[in-house]
Amino acid sequence: MIIDTSALLAYFDAAEPDHAAVSECIDSSADALVVSPYVVAELDYLVATRVGVDAELAVLRELAGGAWELANCGAAEIEQAARIVTKYQDQRIGIADAANVVLADRYRTRTILTLDRRHFSALRPIGGGRFTVIP
């Protein structure tokens, strides 16, 4: 399962309205919990600016703790993501969402845990079809 920034923010912040639904998806998943480096960067910024440095450090330590599949994105993945950004440029999806599409292909999944239904209802898997967007 590919996990997007919005879902991780809700998971780590109990005050977020979708915290319980996202937590259930993560806590009950038998799939790898795949997180891109771009999602980590977005999440780090949001937690640091909205909640504070102590929360930021707690999130970073949790992500480094081994339960999460921290995916690598090299030059080939960035090029593939750039093609996706080009294809959907009217949607203004950005590298984080495009990398999630690339990682979904690499990990052979169509399941995306996100609260960003607008982008992921428009985006398509590299192999065709549709993503399963949860929660």
Which residues does the annotation place in the binding site? Answer: 4, 97
Query: In the beta sheet, which residues pair with residue 113?
Result: 3, 134
Query: In the beta sheet, which residues pair with residue 112?
Result: 2, 133
Q: Which amino acid is at 3?
A: I
8 Å CB contact between 131 and 26: no
CA distance 133 to 114: 7
**Known binding residues for Mg(2+):** 4, 97
User: Which backbone phi and psi does 129 adopt, to 5 degrees?
Assistant: 85, -155
- Of 97, 47, 109, nearest in space to 73 by CA: 97
DSSP-assigned letters across all residues of 45-85 = HHHHHHT-HHHHHHHHHHHTTSSSEE----HHHHHHHHHHH
